[in-house]
A and B are shown apart, each in its own frame.
Chain A
Amino acid sequence: MTETIILFLLALMILGSLIALESKDILSSVIAMGAVGFMLSAIFLILRAPDIAMVQVVIEILTLIILIRATISRDVHTVTDTRDFLPLALNMVLLFVFFIIAAEAIRNMPDFGTGLSKVAGHYLNRGLNDTGSANIVTSVILDYRAYDTLGEATVLFAALIGAITILRRKAKND
């Protein structure tokens, strides 16, 4: 039953992303993108990942705001057709090679719903005693792998500083 719902939502996601990429109007493709993100959030909820579902909803709203801010009142002439023939053909060859490699990798995956990493048992058994957190995801990101979270914050602020620097009106003359 769970699998059926996930398959249905995934098919809807694929449909939504195709609409987003092929739509003639930029604003409607951005809105289709938002639909895809909220469906992804629903899939996370079904897969028993409530933390991720909440974060995904917030992030999706922020992404929509950023994209709409960037595209609104700028869409004077829409660019619809794809690229020239030669680069397109090269890209298609690249996509095909990538497809073969990915299909081979998917064929060797363990079945859906069976694989758990070795370290997961350790975290689940001892997470409460080691860290005192009832939510094991929190204990992983804030205690066992806190350096990873620190690095993530570093990347986040570096990217935001980059965005602010690019968008600044004019350079300060010190």
Chain B
Amino acid sequence: MIYTLCMALFFIGLYGICCKKNLIKIVLGFIIMDYAVNLFIILIGYRKNGIAPILDKTMDVKKFALSSVDPMPQAMVLTAIVIGLAVTALLVALCVRIYERYGTFDITKIRKLRG
């Protein structure tokens, strides 16, 4: 059920990219897809009634390993989130330049491209 809702979120982002005319809306769709994928990877690594993968002084390591959630997806997503920000900044910079050149965010009005 949770996976299905996560997939629905991904599809909303894909719909935004495919069907919107406004460049900013397309960027927003990209960000939504980014969020959905990050959330999905974290959901896979969850363990029921688990604890955060941070050791305490009083904790036994063996017991900790049996009750903690998966630290691997968390580490991967940590890097993926930061990369997502950089890619978003690049996209927005492109949008700003296109707006200055053509005076609109409408992708169907940008027709003066020459190869």
Q: Tell me the A residues contacting B by CB distance below 8 Å.
A: 2-3, 6-7, 10-11, 13-14, 17-18, 20-21, 26, 29-30, 33, 36-37, 40, 43-44, 47-52, 55-56, 59, 62-63, 66-67, 70-71, 74, 77-84, 88, 91-92, 94-95, 98-99, 102-103, 106, 109, 112-117, 119-121, 123-125, 127-128, 134-137, 140-141, 145, 148-149, 152, 155-156, 159-160, 162-163, 166-167
> How long is the Cα–Cα vector from A109 to B7 in the complex, in angstroms?
12
B44 proximity list for chain A (CB < 8 A): 109, 115
> How long is the Cα–Cα vector from A155 to B82 in the complex, in angstroms?
10
Q: Is the CB of A59 within 8 A of B15?
A: no
Inter-chain contact total with CB atoms closer than 8 Å: 245
B71 touches which one: A63, A66, A84, A136 (CB < 8 A)?
A136
Given contact pairs A37-B35, A136-B71, A167-B93, A125 touches B62 in the complex (Cβ within 8 A): yes
Q: Tell me the B residues contacting A by CB distance below 8 Å.
A: 1-16, 18-22, 24-25, 27-29, 31-32, 35, 38-39, 42-48, 50-56, 61-62, 64-65, 68-79, 81-90, 92-97, 99, 104-106, 108
> How long is the Cα–Cα vector from A17 to B46 in the complex, in angstroms?
24
A121 touches which one: B3, B20, B65, B75 (CB < 8 A)?
B65
B94 proximity list for chain A (CB < 8 A): 166
Q: Is the CB of B2 within 8 A of A135?
A: no
Q: Is the CB of A162 within 8 A of B2?
A: no
The secondary-structure label for the interface of chain B is helix
Q: Is the CB of A99 within 8 A of B11?
A: yes
B71 proximity list for chain A (CB < 8 A): 120, 123-124, 127, 136-137, 140
Q: Is the CB of A21 within 8 A of B43?
A: no
Determine the residue in chain A with the shortest Cβ distance to B103: A76
Min CB distance, B41 to chain A, in Å? 10
Min CB distance, A56 to chain B, in Å? 6
Q: Is the CB of A3 within 8 A of B2?
A: yes
A81 proximity list for chain B (CB < 8 A): 21
